[in-house]
Amino acid sequence: MNQLGFITSAVAPEGYPNLPLPEVALVGRSNAGKSSFINSLTMSKWAYVSQRPGKTALINFFKLSPKLIIVDLPGYGYAQRSFVEREEWKNMIETYLSQRETLKGLLLIMDISRAWSDEEEMILRFARQQDIDLAIIATKTDKLGANELRQKLKNLIDQSGITEVFPVSNRLGHGVKAVEKFIYATWAVGGK
């Protein structure tokens, strides 16, 4: 499979692709901009961007390059889904994160205007328990002034304890190249 782009969707390990490539997973709140980030990163329209949050209900695998796969996990925190559905998503995400041997890193996608919450703290704790490297992508940065952005980024680093925090504007394309460089240098096979 040499073609780049969408590979498959899955709900359980038996549906995961059997490729010997490292994977970087994206997790975040339903309206944080995960799909838009994937499209900015790939400079394409691989991921469907919905006007309604909570549309990603499967684990979606994309071949970013011959050296790397990115994985879009279902969003969390979307209250209009049923409790049962939210629990299924939680189990799907936890199964992937705890059992996927090719997973090399996790990108927590956060809307910069939102405060660090219990849900982000849960993701952070789970990543640490599973010994998964974690970086934060702070999206929608174009909506803030320079001083407010600086303060929000400082707060995010202080609250999370994570120093790998990347400010990104999917709309303007700002910060995406820095994330791509980090991903390849840190988690891809032999760099880019």
Cα–Cα distance, 36 to 7 (Å, whole number)? 18
Instruction: Give the pLDDT of the chain (192 residues) as one tens digit per residue.
Output: 567 788 999 999 999 999 999 999 999 887 888 888 888 887 766 555 544 444 557 899 999 889 999 999 988 765 555 667 767 778 888 999 999 999 999 999 999 998 898 889 989 999 999 999 999 999 999 999 999 999 999 999 999 999 999 999 988 889 999 999 999 999 986 654
Amino acid at 169: S
Q: Helix 176-187 crosses helix 34-42 at what angle (to 10 degrees)?
A: 80
Question: Global pTM?
Answer: 0.89
Q: How many whole angstroms separate alpha carbon 110 and alpha carbon 147?
A: 19
Residue 12 sits in a domain whose CATH number is 3.40.50.300
Q: Which domain holds residue 169?
A: 5-187
Alpha helix stretches (DSSP H) within 47-175: 83-99, 118-129, 146-160
Within a domain: residue 69? Answer: yes
Q: Is residue 192 part of a domain?
A: no
Domain count, the chain: 1
